[in-house]
């Protein structure tokens, strides 16, 4: 029977995508792991691999086609011995999904489900798993009927001794993670369990039945929407589920009459930014704390470090030092390294820092994991690589998902001070302004020093004012006494 290839969900926030370019044509043989096309998402441009084998029978969308819904059929493969493309051309495409299938949120612990997913081995062509299709099916996005048909029996319904339909790599990963495959839903062809399914299952804690029964309202990510004037509750802050909820209704606006203008269609990334930041300001109670920080010692340390690193070609930036200081401040004030999760508060044992990077048409936040324990030269190298690939749209999902706190630095533009919007579901973001000569009191004397202003935006549901003040004080001490970051 023909095999449908659907638009995959390549990021947690993706609802539609643009098919940038086909890399195959009708009649081409396709093996598992072959690259089929390039898809532009709300975050990046990514290659999509095939998880099936066959011959390309139909390409149902053209290069450059935009706003293709996740789950829509974009191509078909014919299997071995099946008719060629001509016999499939009359087949009507499956209807587009009207809404994503219901999905059960998986409260993450520690560094979060996204970080756990990033820790799992990345998909390889040899495995025959498509990052996009696997992610889409694992999230239950697509035609509900197709999803139901492809889902294998759960562990409870498997007869004794029945063989689990899983790939060899999935079996090895499950054995290493001590995971029972009988309870894993497969997203591969004919319900086959593939690597992405094992990674998702390993990253999803399974609450005890009593706890699940005690909170039935948290059992679905698509509960009935709250009244328009009441912000919807956020019982579980899982980035993979946050953006599945409907966006607030758009307000119809009209341009001023008689003013020359051009209507520019919003890109996927701009629409996502608009939705998420509107949600953040509407549902997260922000409060702000600002401190002035003397930078002279940090600038001197940076100069000394770069002289010692000349032979390696590595250059440490002020932002690299601030990322390190933010990570250390979170470890020294662990009550600030938290995330609100409805009935729970997640307290993270590691500081993963999301760094705001401007890209054409928006911004993205690649993550420096475990920033507190990394050497400054490592942070500098990683940040340079992540920023370059972010601007080229080549980041992998695990490189920009997650993070326990964020930093946004507009000092390069000469901005003195600003208040940043929290990146949900995180609990804080640090906004850094420019360092500039200012009068500053040192040992009861006024001197001219290089001073910058840093403002923390905090989620008051998770972080109290006193805790926020302790965090800002710790960050200030680290920046003004930067040798402590090398200890």
| C-alpha pair distances (Å), 125 with each of 33, 130, 307 | 4, 8, 43
Distance (Å, whole) CA 165 – CA 194: 9
Q: Where are the beta strands (DSSP E) in 343-444?
A: 344-347, 353-355, 357-359, 362-364, 367-368, 405-409, 428-432, 436-442
Give the residue carrying structure tokens 């002020």. Answer: 318
In the chain, what is the straight-line distance between the N-terminal and C-terminal CA atoms, in Å? Answer: 63
Distance (Å, whole) CA 29 – CA 317: 49
355-388 burial code (b ≥16 CB/10 A, e <16): bbbebeebebbbbbbebbebebbbbbbbbeebbe
In sequence order, the β-bridge partners of residue 462 are none
CA 359, chain centre distance (Å):
16
Burial class (CB in 10 A: 0-12, 13-18, 19+), 400: buried
Distance (Å, whole) CA 375 – CA 383: 12
Going by their DSSP bridges, the two strands 16-22 and 3-6 should be labelled as: unpaired
In the set 237, 241, 286, 460, the catalytic residue is 460
Secondary structure (DSSP) of 14-32: -SEEEEEEES--TT-EE-T
Catalytic residue status for 460: yes
Q: Are 107 and 344 in contact (CB under 8 A)?
A: yes
Angle, helices 318-332 vs 465-480, to 10°: value is 130
Nearest alpha-carbon partner for 297 in 452, 158, 426, 445: 452
Could you give the residue ranges of the DSSP H alpha helices within 40-167? 85-88, 113-119, 131-139, 144-150
Distance (Å, whole) CA 138 – CA 116: 15
- Enter the DSSP assignment of 173: H
Give the residue numbers annotated as catalytic, written as ranges: 460
């Amino acid at each position: 029977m023909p095999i449908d290839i659907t638009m995959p969900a390549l990021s947690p926030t993706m609802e539609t995508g643009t098919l940038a370019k086909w890399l195959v044509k009708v009649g081409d043989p396709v093996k598992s792991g072959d690259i089929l096309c390039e898809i532009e998402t709300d975050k990046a441009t990514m290659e999509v691999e095939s998880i099936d084998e066959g011959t390309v029978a139909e390409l149902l969308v053209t290069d450059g086609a935009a706003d293709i819904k996740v789950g829509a059929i974009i191509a078909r493969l014919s299997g071995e011995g099946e008719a060629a493309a001509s016999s499939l051309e009359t087949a009507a495409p499956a209807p587009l999904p009207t809404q994503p299938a219901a999905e059960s949120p998986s409260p993450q612990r520690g560094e979060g489900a996204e970080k756990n997913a990033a820790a799992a081995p990345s998909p390889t062509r040899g495995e025959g798993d498509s990052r996009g299709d696997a992610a889409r099916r694992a999230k239950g996005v697509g035609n509900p009927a197709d999803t139901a048909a492809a889902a294998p029996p759960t562990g409870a319904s498997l007869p004794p001794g029945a063989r689990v339909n899983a790939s060899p790599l999935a079996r090895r990963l499950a054995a290493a993670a001590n995971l029972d495959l009988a309870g894993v839903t497969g997203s591969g062809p004919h319900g086959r369990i593939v690597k992405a399914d094992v990674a998702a299952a390993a990253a999803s804690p399974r609450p005890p039945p009593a706890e699940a029964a005690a909170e039935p309202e948290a059992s679905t990510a698509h509960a009935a929407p709250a009244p328009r004037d009441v912000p919807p509750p956020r019982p579980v802050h899982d980035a993979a589920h946050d953006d599945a909820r409907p966006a607030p209704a758009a307000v119809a606006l009209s341009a001023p009459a008689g003013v020359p203008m051009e209507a520019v269609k919003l890109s996927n990334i701009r629409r996502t930014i608009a939705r998420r930041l509107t949600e953040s300001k509407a549902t997260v109670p922000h409060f702000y704390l600002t401190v002035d920080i003397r930078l002279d010692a940090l600038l001197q340390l940076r100069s000394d470090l770069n002289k010692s690193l000349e032979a390696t070609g590595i250059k440490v930036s002020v932002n690299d030092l601030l990322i390190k200081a933010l990570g250390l401040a979170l470890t020294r004030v662990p009550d600030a390294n938290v995330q609100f999760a409805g009935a729970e508060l997640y307290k993270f044992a590691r500081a993963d820092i999301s760094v705001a990077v401007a890209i054409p048409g928006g911004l993205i936040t690649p993550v420096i994991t475990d920033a507190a324990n990394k050497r400054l030269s490592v942070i500098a190298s990683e940040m340079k690589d992540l920023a370059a690939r972010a601007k080229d749209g080549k980041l992998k999902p695990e490189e920009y998902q997650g993070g326990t706190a964020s930093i946004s630095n507009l000092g390069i533009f000469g901005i003195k001070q600003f208040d940043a919007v929290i990146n949900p579901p995180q609990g804080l973001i640090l906004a850094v302004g420019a360092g500039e000569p200012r009068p500053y009191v040192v040992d009861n004397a006024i001197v001219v020093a290089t001073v910058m202003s840093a403002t923390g935006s905090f989620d008051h549901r998770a972080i109290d004012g006193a805790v926020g003040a302790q965090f800002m004080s710790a960050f200030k001490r680290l920046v003004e006494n930067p040798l402590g970051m090398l200890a």
